[in-house]
Amino acid sequence: MLSFFRRAWSSAEKLDGKTVLITGANTGIGKETAKDLAKRGAKIIIACRDMEKGQQALKEIKEYSGSDDLKCMKLDLSDTKSIREFAEAINRDEPKLNILINNAGVMVCPYGKTADGFEMQIGVNHMGHFLLTYLLLDLIKRSAPARIVTVSSVAHGWGSINLDDINSEKSYDKIKAYSQSKLANVLFTRSLAKRLEGVLFPLIAVILSIFGASGSIHFISFHFYIFLGTGVTTYSLHPGAVKTDLQRHVSGFLYVVMMVTKPFFKNPAQGAQTSIYCAVEPSLANETGQYYSDCARTSPSSTAKDDNLAQKLWELSCNMLSITWE
């Protein structure tokens, strides 16, 4: 059968002693990502809204990996109160967090709002993960080298960010809203990378010298710069067209297209490969803020490389979430 994706990436990289948090890992590519990383030796924390499904996923992950170092915690990304309570528990109970995978999401759902009044897709896919990352960032920095991986989509290239109506209150197109949320994922990754790359910190060394019999004193100064990086890198990605229940709200022409092309879709294990690649591939330690597909770096849309738009989205997100994140 023809395939629209490359052969599966493979690696023997181990994660012994590492802690990984994956949102939405009770199903789909999130669960497959968790199974793979658990088998590599990582402690896995899956964060999901449905605890019953989460516990069932834990059993499957344990059976596959043979690991007992697994935990399921409740997280509702459509409610900032839940996000804050979850982050508080992680910061209190976990000594380190080496890899955060922002995987959970909703897709082309009917119009609805989160507990905080955000349109559901931008609220869950972007705002929820933006706040979660903000609340966990100090722990991630202390765990460096560390990675933040955000699952986006090729759909990021289908639209733009409506800064004047990001909650789609004037009009709602579920496909455009989904595209907007996935573009926000890529822009967030790009902006976050710039903030985590580090700064040049100036130092001045002054040397006191006494010369000759006259005892004259001279001060000689030298200027040094030390690069202070955080050791945290970020990645966004397109998992590919994957057979998961995320597409349950798809309808109309897009549904027809999906049904025609579905025989060529990846299964969840194949769809998880780029997430796993971004989480463990050693060569990516020198890359940050980039976008990946089929386990390779690729170029996102031109809009996704607009740093001015990224900055405006960052500021708007902070304002809407009532946080200060410079």
Strand order in the sheet with 296-298: 70-74, 43-48, 19-23, 99-102, 146-151, 232-238, 290-293, 296-298
What is the rounded distance in angstroms from the CA atom of residue 258 to the CA atom of residue 155?
14
326 within some domain: no
Phi and psi torsions of 54, nearest 5°: -65, -45
* Tokens encoding 67: 């690991």
Please give the residue range of the domain that contains residue 308.
19-198+231-321
2 pLDDT tier (thresholds 50, 70, 90): very low
What domain count does the chain have? 1
Per-position DSSP letters for 261-282, written without gaps between them? HGGGPBPHHHHTHHHHHHHH-G
Phi and psi torsions of 61, nearest 5°: -65, -40
Cβ–Cβ contacts within 10 Å for residue 84, how many?
Answer: 13
The three-class DSSP label of residue 17 is: coil
List Cβ neighbours of 8 (8 Å cut-off, separation of 6 or more).
270, 273
151 within some domain: yes
216 within some domain: no
Provide the CATH number for the domain around residue 167.
3.40.50.720
Average pLDDT, the chain: 89
Specify burial of residue 36 (Cβ count, 10 A radius: 0-12, 13-18, 19+).
Answer: buried
Q: Please check whether residue 289 is in contact with residue 192, taking contact to mean a CB–CB distance below 8 angstroms.
A: yes
Q: Please check whether residue 191 is in contact with residue 310, taking contact to mean a CB–CB distance below 8 angstroms.
A: yes
Residue 49 is given by DSSP the state S
Catalytic status, residue 64: no
58 within some domain: yes
Q: Please check whether residue 89 is in contact with residue 64, taking contact to mean a CB–CB distance below 8 angstroms.
A: no
What is the rounded distance in angstroms from the CA atom of residue 106 to the CA atom of residue 130?
15
Strands 99-102 and 70-74: unpaired
217 within some domain: no
Per-position DSSP letters for 190-207, written without gaps between them? HHHHHHHS-EEEEEEEEE
Q: Please check whether residue 183 is in contact with residue 304, taking contact to mean a CB–CB distance below 8 angstroms.
A: yes
Q: How confident is the model at residue 234, as a pLDDT?
A: 98
| pTM for this predicted structure | 0.86
272 within some domain: yes
pLDDT in tens, 72-114: 999 999 999 999 999 999 999 999 999 999 999 999 999 999 9
Kindly state the average pLDDT of the residues 117-124. Answer: 99
What is the rounded distance in angstroms from the CA atom of residue 102 to the CA atom of residue 236?
9
Cβ–Cβ contacts within 10 Å for residue 298, how many?
Answer: 12
Tell me which of 134, 178, 291, 292 is the catalytic residue: 178
Kindly state the average pLDDT of the residues 289-313. Answer: 98
167 within some domain: yes
14 within some domain: no
Q: How confident is the model at residue 245, as a pLDDT?
A: 54
pLDDT in tens, 193-249: 999 986 545 555 555 555 555 555 555 555 555 546 899 999 999 998 865 554 444
Strands 296-298 and 99-102: unpaired
Q: How confident is the model at residue 256, as a pLDDT?
A: 47
